[in-house]
Amino acid sequence: MQKRLTRLLMLFIVLISFSSCSIIEGIFKAGVGVGIFIVVAVIAIIIFIISKIFGRK
């Protein structure tokens, strides 16, 4: 009985570990997407400002 309980406990711990890892993976994937969007937006703003400065001459 003790051996069976130990196996079930170990299985439960492994299942919890894998689900938490996938949650963290999802958070980092979302963070990468937001980071890329912010970088593209900043570059677009810089190009817009430079075009306005040099376009008036």
Considering the entire predicted model, what is its pTM?
0.52
3-state DSSP call for residue 21? helix
What's 15's DSSP letter? H
Q: How far, in Å, CA of 35 to CA of 28, rounded?
A: 10
| 23-45: average pLDDT | 87
Residue 53: both structure tokens together:
């400065």
Q: How far is CA 8 from CA 1, 30, 46, 54, in A?
A: 11, 33, 57, 70
Mean pLDDT of 21-42: 84
pLDDT band (50, 70, 90) for residue 48: very high
